[in-house]
Amino acid sequence: MPPLCDGSQIGCLALTEPGAGSDAIGSMATTAVRDGDDYVVNGRKLYITNGPVADVALLYAKTDPARGARGISAFIVDMKSPGATVTQKLVKMGFRGSQTAELAFDDCRVPAANRLGAENAGVACLMSGLDLERAMIAPICLGIAERALELSVAHAREREQFGEPIANFQMVQSRLADMYVLVETMRAYDYHCLASLNDLPPGEGGRGAAHASRRPAAPADTNRERPPVRTARRRRRPATSSAGISSVVAGPSGCNHRNRSGSARRRRGCTPASAGPRRPRWSRSDRRQAAT
């Protein structure tokens, strides 16, 4: 830990695989087989942040494949070990200051002493920080959304059509107002989540108190950068791709949305059937039709 804390070494977290993304635990194919004082690791890990430059990896592998989530262990792997390789550095649309890689482990021997926690108890290690990680990613989305809104407002003021700035048109003002509301909703929910993490004891940044917070659920989605993102995309601004990517890291927004809906129903003690009417979703073609 000291070299990771002082920055003299770089770590990465190797969970996701080519065939195991949202279902990282269920579909995991990487195995670690005990052989004397070592484990022999075989498998591929994909989209690994810091992968190209990491000195060590916190790697998850199946030690008892028949036991599903109860058969996964966590290991600290020295990336200089024979059999551990960076197979490719990925080229991303955004987040380019953060390097991402595919890693391969071919008969890579990892000392049993490098197992983190008990054998087959890796999921507890993983879940101890997952919600904390998600909460830390949300402010990145917020910053990108704020910037996308700023760019949209500036563009609406500068761009003239029909002899005046498009910001003078009520339809454009309405869109900007919607974006502003979404950014502010996102900010409020984001701060609410971060505040609930404030007093967490070490090791409870996963599906503990933060996940099951009894405070009223805010209605917004932490990944509400999407409308400003769409605006930015039309203007071909680089902010777009970073926001899109950040809605995938640590679990894509579709899955997080499903998780949040489950949490909200549990908190309110209602079943999906009695969860109340759904807010209508308006597509762009709906809006066009309504405008004509």
Residues found near ligand FAD in the complex (CB under 6 A): 12-16, 21-22, 47-49, 95, 100, 245, 248-252, 254-255, 258
CA–CA separation, 103 and 181 (whole Å) = 41
Nearer to ligand FAD, 22 or 114 (CB): 22
Nearer to ligand FAD, 93 or 118 (CB): 93
User: Closest separation between CB of residue 140 and ligand FAD, Å?
Assistant: 11
- Give catalytic status of residue 133 as yes or no: yes
Number of neighbours of residue 102 by Cβ within 10 angstroms: 20
Q: Which residue is nearest to ligand FAD (CB)?
A: 21
Nearer to ligand FAD, 14 or 183 (CB): 14
Classify residue 36 as left (phi > 0), alpha (psi -120 to 50) or beta: left
User: Closest separation between CB of residue 288 and ligand FAD, Å?
Assistant: 25
Nearer to ligand FAD, 216 or 252 (CB): 252
Contact 100, 35 (CB under 8 A): no
Nearer to ligand FAD, 142 or 172 (CB): 142
- Of residues 102, 119, 133, 158, which has the active-site annotation? 133
User: Closest separation between CB of residue 16 and ligand FAD, Å?
Assistant: 3
Q: And the tokens for 235?
A: 């203007």
Using DSSP bridges, classify how beta strands 11-14 and 100-111 pair: parallel, antiparallel or unpaired: unpaired
User: Closest separation between CB of residue 226 and ligand FAD, Å?
Assistant: 12
User: Closest separation between CB of residue 55 and ligand FAD, Å?
Assistant: 15
CA–CA separation, 53 and 47 (whole Å) = 13
CA–CA separation, 280 and 274 (whole Å) = 17
Nearer to ligand FAD, 228 or 251 (CB): 251
CA–CA separation, 141 and 152 (whole Å) = 16
User: Closest separation between CB of residue 43 and ligand FAD, Å?
Assistant: 12
**Catalytic residue annotation:** 133
